[in-house]
Chains A and B, each alone.
Chain A
Amino acid sequence: MSAKHLSPEMLNQRRLEAVRLRLDGLTVASTAKRTGLSAPTVSAAWKAFREGGWQAVPVRPRGRHKGNTQTLGESEREYLWQRISRWPANNSPGWTSRELAEALSDETGQKVSQRAVEHWLEARNLKPAPMSLETATKRSRKGRWLHQQVQPVLERVRSLGGTHWLGGVRVVTNSNDRQAPCYQLYVHGKHGVLHTCRFATPPKAKDYIELFKRLAEQGPTALIFHGAFFKASAEITTWLEQHTDFQLLGVPPNSKL
Chain B
Amino acid sequence: MTTLTHLQRLEAESIQIMREVVAESENPVMLYSVGKDSAVMLHLARKAFAPSPPPFPLLHVDTRWKFRAMYEFRDRMAEEASMDLLVHINPEGIEKDINPFTHGSAIHTDVMKTEGLKQAMDKYGFDAAFGGARRDEEKSRAKERVFSFRTAQHRWDPKNQRPELWKVFNTFKHKGESIRVFPLSNWTELDIWQYIYLQNIPIVPLYYSAERPVVERDGALIMVDDERMPLEPGEVPMMRKVRFRTLGCYPLTGAVESEADTLPAIIQEMLLTRTSERQGRVIDHDSAASMEKKKQEGYF
Which residues of A are at the interface with B, using a C-beta cutoff of 8 A?
169, 171, 183, 202-206, 208, 226-230, 232-233, 235-236, 253-254
Identify 8 new A-B residue pairs, CB closer than 8 A, beyond the known A202-B215, A254-B210.
A204-B234, A226-B239, A228-B237, A229-B224, A232-B213, A232-B231, A253-B210, A253-B239
In the complex, the answer to whether B234 meets A202 with C-beta atoms within 8 Å is no
On whether the beta carbons of B211 and A233 are closer than 8 Å, the reply is no
CB distance from B254 to the nearest CB of A (A): 15
Q: How far is the CB of A243 from chain B (nearest CB, A)?
A: 17
Q: Determine if B235 and A205 form an interchain contact, defined as CB atoms under 8 angstroms apart.
A: yes
Q: Does B64 contact A (CB under 8 A)?
A: no
The reply to whether the CB of B212 lies closer than 8 angstroms to some CB of chain A is yes
A202, A203, A208, A236, most chain B CB atoms within 10 A? A202
Q: How far is the CA of A235 from the CA of B211 in the complex (A)?
A: 23
A-B contact count (CB 8 A): 52
Rounded to whole Å, the gap between the CB of A229 and the closest CB of chain B is 4
CB of B285 to closest CB in A, whole Å: 21
In this assembly, does B236 line the interface, its C-beta being within 8 Å of a C-beta of chain A?
yes
CB contact under 8 A between A253 and B237, given known A229-B224, A232-B224, A233-B231: no
Measured CB to CB, the nearest residue on chain A to B227 is A232
CA gap between A230 and B227 in the complex, in Å: 13
Q: Interface on B for A, CB 8 Å cutoff?
A: 210-213, 215-216, 224, 227, 231, 234-240, 257
Q: Which residues from chain A contact B210 at a C-beta distance below 8 Å?
A: 253-254
Which residue of the partner chain A has the closest CB to B234? A204
**Closest beta carbon of chain B to A166's beta carbon, Å:** 15
For residue A168, which residue of chain B has the nearest CB? Answer: B239
Cα–Cα distance between A205 and B234 once the two chains are bound (Å)? 5
Q: Does A228 contact B212, Cβ atoms closer than 8 Å?
A: no
In angstroms, Cα B208 to Cα A254, docked, is 12
| Nearest 8 CB-CB pairings of A with B | A229-B213, A204-B234, A253-B211, A229-B237, A205-B234, A233-B236, A254-B211, A227-B239
**Considering the chains assembled together, what is the distance between the CA atoms of A186 and B46 in angstroms?**
52
Q: What residues of A have a CB within 8 angstroms of the CB of B213 in the complex? A: 229, 232
- In the bound complex, what is the Cα–Cα distance between A32 and B275 (angstroms)? 52
- Beta-carbon contact of B236 and A203 below 8 Å: yes
18 A-B pairs (CB sep. < 8 Å): A171-B257, A183-B238, A202-B235, A204-B234, A205-B235, A205-B236, A226-B239, A227-B238, A228-B238, A228-B239, A229-B237, A230-B236, A232-B213, A232-B227, A233-B236, A235-B234, A253-B211, A253-B212
**Bound complex: CA of A232 vs CA of B230, how far in Å?**
10
A202 touches B231 (CB 8 A): no
List the B side residues contacting A183 at CB < 8 Å.
238
Max chain B Cβ within 10 angstroms of own Cβ: one of A169, A171, A183, A232 = A232
| CB-nearest residue of chain B to A225 | B239
Distance (whole angstroms) from the CB of A171 to the closest CB of chain B: 7
Contact of A229 among B216, B234, B236 (CB under 8 A): B236
Q: Which B residues touch A235, using CB under 8 A?
A: 234
User: Which residues in A have their C-beta under 8 angstroms from that of B212?
Assistant: 253
Contact B238 A202 (CB under 8 A): yes
By beta carbon, the residue of chain B nearest A171 is B240
In the assembled complex, the Cα of A227 lies from the Cα of B236 at a distance in Å of 10
Contact yes or no, B237 A232, CB < 8 A? yes
CB contact under 8 A between A204 and B224, given known A171-B240, A232-B213, A254-B211: no
- A203 (CB) vs chain B CBs: closest residue: B236
Contact assessment for A206 and B234 in the assembled complex, using a CB-CB cutoff below 8 Å: yes
A253 to B224, CA, bound (A): 14
